[in-house]
């Protein structure tokens, strides 16, 4: 929770809401893991590509910017789709890292960073 004091000031019961949201997050993680286990073999590193992609998307958009993360995700998805169409699908992560490094050089704080 970013601002528990602010949430309490507008009438949100943070003592009850925090464990509830944590439980919902754990439950959704379990559902995602169960769905992935039907497609891929289970291994300790099975979520690594998704974690790296999520980190790239959040960094592209700027930490703390929801709109920036949305734009960063769309940008990364379009670049990966077009890049895999015109090149080899095995270059997907190379394209992701190229966009990531390009944005970090151009705008080190992300596309929609808060200063």
Predicted confidence (pLDDT) per residue in 26-63, tens digit: 999 999 888 888 888 888 887 788 888 888 888 888 88
59 and 53 Cβ atoms separated by less than 8 Å: no
Pick from 1-10, 22-31, 70-79: least confident? 1-10
CA atoms within 13 A on the CB side of 57: 19
1 has a pLDDT exceeding 70: no
Q: CA-to-CA distance for 93 and 89, rounded, in angstroms?
A: 9
What pTM, to 2 d.p., does this model score?
A: 0.61
């Amino acid at each position: 929770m970013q601002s528990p004091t602010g949430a309490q000031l507008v009438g949100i019961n943070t003592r009850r809401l925090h464990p509830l949201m944590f439980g919902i997050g754990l439950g959704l993680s379990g559902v995602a893991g169960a769905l992935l286990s039907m497609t891929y073999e289970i291994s300790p590193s099975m979520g690594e590509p998704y974690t790296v992609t999520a980190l790239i998307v959040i960094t592209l958009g700027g930490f703390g910017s929801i709109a920036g993360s949305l734009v960063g995700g769309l940008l990364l998805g379009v670049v990966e789709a077009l890049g895999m169409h015109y090149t080899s699908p095995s270059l997907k992560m190379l394209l992701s890292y190229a966009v990531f490094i390009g944005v970090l050089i151009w705008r080190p704080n992300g596309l929609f960073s808060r200063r």
